[in-house]
Amino acid sequence: MSETHLGYGLSVGALLLFSSSILVTKVASSRISLSLGFLVATLVNVGFAALALTLEFALRSDAFQWNTPAFLLFAAAGGFATYLGRWFFYESVVRFGPSRASIFQASSPLFTAMMAWLFLGERISLVIASGMVMTLCGLVLVSYKPSVVRDGGVSVAWAPSGVSHRERLLQSVFLLGLSSSMAYAISNVLRGSAIRLWNEPVVGALSGAVFGLTLHLLFSLKKTGVFSDWRSADRTGLWLFALIGVCNILGQMGVIGAMRYIPLSVVALMTLCTPILVFPLSHLLFKGKDAITLSTLLGSALTLMGIVIIVLR
């Protein structure tokens, strides 16, 4: 297997893991609070990554070389993805459903491509760019639903007046989705820079998870009283968020590893094609109101065609 094919394989694996995480989040959040679930998932991120690193050290034959600049980049990326990006995205999933939350992730590869071009000098061919545009258009078709202009009296673009600034943010799928997309794009560029300096994806995932957890402990738990709810929490919900944590950290390792072999923007695009999996599965599993329409089928076909063009360029 060539390095390029390895990069695509890691990206597809991450896509499957992230899609599973989105679907499980919808189920788990109905059992326990999002604050507690986020803490459980992040703790599992750290624990599972530490276990994976221990196993890697036990099996590796080459010497481990430390790289401080790359380590700091990985840690900063964790702050944007594990803390900011995931928090915004979880709020979107819980408040507006997995289908509508996923559509905003389509903009993240565009931000990633722009930042990679500006700061890393990364360029992509016209063929790949055409495949990316086709894929993004397909994702919009899959996720866009004209009938959901409003949801329960709350505008999905802008929150109603008469509420606090924080509530306006939390009630705006546009602001939540765009904030999550930007946070993930920044983390992608930081990780892409780090992995090219230091080929240690497991260390990168662990350092990012630790920093993200630290930010969560410092800034999020003081107001939630989440520890007092731990003992009385639904055990199934706790295990589901633990599963989410495993899926997310494995997906992050796949993303970091793929960025060493293929362009950052391509990795970001492929791993965020979650709507083509999340929407039909969400409809089947949760018996949602949204039907699988002609635009859904056309969008899925367009997305898959774009990915094929990118891979077979």
| Residues of the chain above pLDDT 70, percent | 78
- The mean-pLDDT minimum among 57-71, 124-138, 173-187, 218-232 falls in 218-232
Ranges of H-type helices in 60-85: 68-78
Torsion region of 295: left, alpha or beta (phi above 0 gives left; psi -120 to 50 gives alpha)? alpha
Helices (H) and strands (E) in the chain, counts: 14, 2
Structure confidence at residue 13 as a pLDDT band (50, 70, 90): very high
| The pLDDT of residue 266 is above 80 | yes
The confidence score (pLDDT) of residue 163 equals: 46
**Which of the two residues, 310 and 211, has the higher pLDDT score?**
211
How does the average pLDDT of the chain come out, rounded?
Answer: 80
The confidence score (pLDDT) of residue 161 equals: 44
Write down the pTM of the prediction. Answer: 0.78
Most confident of 111-120, 193-202, 285-294: 193-202
Can you tell me the mean pLDDT for 278-304? Answer: 74
Which helix (H) or strand (E) segment is 246 a member of?
helix 235-258
